[in-house]
Copies of this chain bind each other. A is one copy, B any other.
Amino acid sequence: MAPNKPSLALFTDLYELTMAQAYWQSGETAQATFSLYIRSYPPDRGYFVLGGIQDALDYLKDLRFSEEETRYLRSLDLFDPGFLEFLLGLRFTGTVRAMDEGAIFFANEPVIEVTAPIIEAQIAETYLLNQVNLQSVLATKAARVVHAARGRPVVDFAARRAHGADTANKFARVSYMAGFTGTSNVLAGKLYEIPVFGTMAHSFVEAFPREEQALRAYAESFPDSSTFLVDTYDTLKGVRKAVPLAVEMRRRGHPLRAVRIDSGDLLDLSTRARAILNDAGLQDVEVFASGGLDEFAVGELLRAGAPISGFGVGTKVGVSADAPWTDCVYKLVEYRGLPTLKLSTGKRSLPGPKQVFRYRDQSGDYLRDVIGLAIEPPPDRDGEPLLKDVMRGGRLTNQHPPLEELRERFARDFAHLPETHKALRSPATYDVRYSQGLTDLQATAEAEIRERELGQ
């Protein structure tokens, strides 16, 4: 654990702690299982990419309340001193099963199941939801952009508009996992060993007496890694000013990498810029595009044949503007060995600890998933169980895999998800079924609760 890492013990909704005291005072402290899943697809989503698992597990591993934290809780005049003593000694001692970070998953599939004394499992709700929701939203958005770019490099430019600095760093990490080439965010590059990219902004061009002087000054500082921003005053005139410099740079053995266009009609301007460069014999200088791009814009540009070699994507991707949240939930599914569920309108939950089985065809392509009970054998033997033991007795069963491994694994797996589910608009719904065991338990548990609580 990094010594400077701020404690997240108090990053929890107050009700987690008031419930904890009421559990503690009433002796309801038995083993519970909570299941974390997304209830439904946001618009235009046909799959999710799992992020946040490693942060969630590190949180559980390190969870503890300090004297200073319980002093604050005491100041609220809500808590029993005995309960605060209990909190000081609290550690997470439970078992966690989870899908792999970077796994592709679908609505209603548990991605984490936490089994522990109920207070330990309950308190973790807020942070686990926060991280898995956020990082899965961002990883999914990034995967869509990678898919839309059809193999062309995509660079994360979201640092300035992501919701906070820490979130920008996490976006850089999960977007790299999903296939981005790198990030403009230097801190994320350092933290996660991600390649960093970037050259110049409009202010740089404006600070020099003439546009050509700015480009020349930059090329002198970075002879081997220059991309010229050409749209400060007029894009095509900017390209024409870049041409003689690029010819000179090539002659010296330090070719210009690219020109970047950041505004205007990117299809038209990239086509004309490409022609100007080609006419000057600069076929190897690439056209790089940025400015308000997301997977929809990237997809349309490439469908229209824009000669763009790479993309920088920021704002709309870094906040997942069209779908910035999911209805990700963390639900009690078992307590004292008995199944639990709620019947709230539109928010019913499925009882019991579960397993998710994935079925593939002979080439490895996705066929369907089955959500079953954890205690059930797979409905037939080819089902691959996706939830694996990742913590036992409050300890990690394995070290976190390196980011490069997650990235390679994701690329391999994503290639097997059929295109119909990857459509950017109105994707086909993937086939997710419930096992007979789960269906039966659901019926029994619901009937029992209806009788007990509703007199039906």
Asked whether, in the complex, the Cβ of B15 is within 8 Å of the Cβ of A165, the reply is: no
Asked whether, in the complex, the Cβ of B454 is within 8 Å of the Cβ of A78, the reply is: no
| Complex contacts, A332 vs chain B, CB 8 Å | 202-203, 206-207
A4 at the interface (CB under 8 A from B): yes
Asked whether, in the complex, the Cβ of B163 is within 8 Å of the Cβ of A22, the reply is: no
A118 at the interface (CB under 8 A from B): yes
| Complex contacts, A22 vs chain B, CB 8 Å | 200, 204, 217-218, 220-222
Asked whether, in the complex, the Cβ of B160 is within 8 Å of the Cβ of A342, the reply is: no
Asked whether, in the complex, the Cβ of A344 is within 8 Å of the Cβ of B18, the reply is: no
Chain B, Cβ-Cβ closest to A326: B161
A263 at the interface (CB under 8 A from B): yes
A211 at the interface (CB under 8 A from B): yes
Asked whether, in the complex, the Cβ of A168 is within 8 Å of the Cβ of B345, the reply is: no
| Complex contacts, A170 vs chain B, CB 8 Å | 164
| Complex contacts, A23 vs chain B, CB 8 Å | 204, 207
| Complex contacts, A331 vs chain B, CB 8 Å | 202-203
A222 partner, pick from B18, B129, B342, beta carbons under 8 A:
B18
| Complex contacts, A320 vs chain B, CB 8 Å | 324
Chain B, Cβ-Cβ closest to A168: B130
Count how many chain A residues have C-beta atoms less than 8 Å from C-beta atoms of the other chain.
Answer: 112
| Complex contacts, A72 vs chain B, CB 8 Å | 186, 189-190
Give complex CA distance A79, B101 in Å.
34
Asked whether, in the complex, the Cβ of B130 is within 8 Å of the Cβ of A162, the reply is: yes
Asked whether, in the complex, the Cβ of A159 is within 8 Å of the Cβ of B263, the reply is: no
Interface residues of A in 195-226 (CB under 8 A from B): 196-208, 210-211, 217-218, 220-222, 225
Asked whether, in the complex, the Cβ of B208 is within 8 Å of the Cβ of A76, the reply is: no
| Complex contacts, A450 vs chain B, CB 8 Å | 233
Asked whether, in the complex, the Cβ of B126 is within 8 Å of the Cβ of A159, the reply is: yes
Task: From known contacts A222-B18, A237-B453, infer whether A25 and B160 are also in contact, taking CB-CB under 8 Å.
Answer: no
A-B contact pairs, 10 of them (CB 8 A): A8-B187, A16-B201, A18-B218, A18-B222, A19-B203, A19-B204, A232-B342, A315-B325, A315-B327, A319-B324
- 10 interchain residue pairs of minimum CB distance: A14-B198, A163-B163, A15-B198, A203-B332, A264-B345, A22-B221, A164-B167, A263-B344, A10-B187, A129-B160
Besides the known contacts A11-B165, A207-B335, A263-B347, 15 further A-B residue pairs in the complex with CB atoms under 8 A apart: A10-B186, A13-B185, A14-B196, A15-B198, A23-B204, A25-B220, A125-B160, A133-B160, A163-B319, A207-B332, A233-B449, A264-B346, A265-B345, A321-B325, A324-B324
